[in-house]
Amino acid sequence: MGKEQKKRDNKKLRRPNGHGTVYKLKGRRRKPWVARAAARTEKVPGKNTGELEEKTIRPIIGYYKSESEANKALLMNQYIPLSPKADITLGELYDEWSNNKYKRISKSTRDTYKAAWNYLAVHQDVKFAELRKAHIQETVDNNEGKSRSTLEKIKALASMLYKYAMENDIASKNYAEFVELPKKDTDEREIFTDLEIKKMFDNSDMEWVDTILILIYSGLRISELLELTKFSVDLKKGTIMGGNKTEAGKNRLVPIHDKIMPYVQKWYAKNGDRLICNNEGGRIRPRYYRERLYFPTLKKLGISELTPHSCRHTFASLMKKAGADELYIKRIMGHTSYAFTEKVYTHTDIEQLKNAVNLM
């Protein structure tokens, strides 16, 4: 009777072809039970020829403490099959993702992702299926001295890689979402250093460098600078009337700092309706300026590739450092709730604002 019962049990446990298998490894192991998927054929590069050849593989789903756990994993694999790329490493997945992604984005965006990858690459040999929050968190914590934006980019790239892995059944959860960044300092602003600004002045003959200096010494937004027409510029008075964005920022008066006056005069003399124009005198769009002119110029100079908005933060920082009155800083940058128009500015107003700017 015992032998007959054993036969019936074995028959009951036998699985149909193509469902995989469960077996126990020899020796003392913490997880001795193995769940292995059914055999399948894949095309892989040949060792000698490099040409694609068919190869039969039987991927391991995982190792488990008990037979029941292994059977459960094998059953789940029938509903959510193990990805053919289950053993792919973080580095391999990044290469695969970037080969496709980088064809569809701008160079400046690619450079941003590549910079973030330089930090994550420390884990490139880890199997992606085994990558967890702790790996990404370790990278962030080990680089806590870096800027907030750098850490945010590391987390963002990790999250994109997880999403790509989930789309391809390599991962089931985006662990990057749980990564904690250092508490954000609300007063923290990324600004250009005095040495970086000096380097810009030393290389102001390089194309487009002067436009960055105009942004830094005027406090204008990139869109505001590119919208300026020659009617907005009064070289005799040394002022610019411009601005958009907010009610307070519209039609505000911006004094032209003595240091950037030669650059404004140079652009004013060019052929074009707008102050800053392309070689044909045509309009330059903010996105084009940012991606094709601004970031590439900073890269050529070997200067921190801060965003164009950092020029505004630098302007405010330089003004404060020079001891300019907070009210004048707000009026020039368009932060005050009182919207000044051209008719409001008296001669005294203009002189006070010019004096405040030239404190820098």
Select 194-357's CATH number: 2.40.30.10, 3.40.50.720, 3.20.20.140, 1.10.443.10.
1.10.443.10
Say whether pTM exceeds 0.85.
Answer: no
Q: Six-digit token pair at 33?
A: 């039970």
Report angle CA 45, 40, 174 to the nearest 5 degrees.
Answer: 85
Mean pLDDT of 53-57: 74
Residues of the chain with CATH 1.10.150.130: 90-178
3-state secondary structure of 274: strand
Residues of the chain with CATH 1.10.443.10: 194-357
Q: Six-digit token pair at 324?
A: 């300019």
Backbone angles phi, psi at 253, to 5 degrees: -95, 125
3-state secondary structure of 129: helix
Report angle CA 302, 270, 334 to the nearest 5 degrees.
Answer: 70
pLDDT tens by residue, 234-273: 999 999 887 665 444 467 888 899 999 999 999 999 988 9
- H or E stretch covering 343: none
In the CATH hierarchy, which fold is given to the domain comprising 90-178?
DNA polymerase; domain 1 (1.10.150)
Q: Is the pLDDT of residue 352 over 90?
A: no
Q: Is the pLDDT of residue 343 over 50?
A: no
Q: How many CB atoms lie within 10 A of CB 2?
A: 6
**More confident position, 188 or 333:** 333
Query: Could you give the dihedral angle defined by the CA atoms of residues 120, 122, 124 and 130, in that order, rounded to the nearest 10 degrees?
Result: -80
Residue type, 263: Y
Backbone angles phi, psi at 63, to 5 degrees: -115, 140
